[in-house]
Amino acid sequence: MSTKENKQAQEDILKEQSEQTVDNTQTGTSEEEAVQASEAEEQIESEEAQELTAEEKLEKELETVKKLVEEQKDKYLRLSAEFDNYRKRTLKEKAELIKNGGEKAITSILPILDDLERALQNMQKAEDVKAIYDGVDLIYQKFLKELSHEGLKKMEPIGEAFDTDYHEAIALVPSPSEEQKGKVLDCVQTGYTLNDKVIRHAKVVVAQ
């Protein structure tokens, strides 16, 4: 083989090796791009999966909130109904109390009313005035006793110092003595307290 032919053969070998290197480089690049594309696709699918999971989580939380709202609404309606029933029952009991509050007191004085009826009947044929007086006084004392059981107390103002919390002065007269100045000399109308509360002031005459 001539020198020229050897040189040509070497050039062909170098050319073939160069082409093979280029092919290998291109092949490697294609494989790398394929791997990158695959990874990108997997990342997109993962993000979509994560987004779906977040949506599902949000829907679950929303359902929980809706359930809680319904429970609270039901509880509120029950409490509202119970309160309305309680209010109606209380108003009814209050109305009955106002209407029949004096029933016990009235019942306790019915026997005294019977005594007064009998006293009136006896007055028509009685000749002993003192006996009539004693009978009426007995009924009066019985009446006061029954009222005292309800908390009523009769004032006894004569001789006491004048007190505007309990007394109402209807007249001022000169004092018979120095010791009686500012004291009650006479009671024109009896005063009463009910459970220590003044329900009627005693109308009195006061010495000055």
- Which of the 8 DSSP states describes residue 177? S
User: Which of 63-72, 137-146, 196-205 has the highest average model confidence (pLDDT)?
Assistant: 196-205
Predicted local confidence at residue 198, as pLDDT: 94
Q: What is the mean pLDDT of residues 172-196?
A: 93
Under 8 Å between Cβ of 181 and 207: yes
Average pLDDT of the residues of the chain: 81
Under 8 Å between Cβ of 139 and 117: no
Q: Which 3-state string (H, E, C) describes 112-168?
A: HHHHHHHHHHHHCCCCCHHHHHHHHHHHHHHHHHHHHHCCEEECCCCCCECCCCCEE
What are 17's two structure tokens? 């090796």
Residue among 161, 164, 155 at smallest CA distance from 207: 161
Rg (CA), the chain: 57
Q: How confident is the model at residue 115 (pLDDT cuts 50, 70, 90)?
A: confident
Under 8 Å between Cβ of 185 and 158: yes
pTM across the whole model: 0.50
Under 8 Å between Cβ of 167 and 149: no
Q: How confident is the model at residue 187 (pLDDT cuts 50, 70, 90)?
A: very high
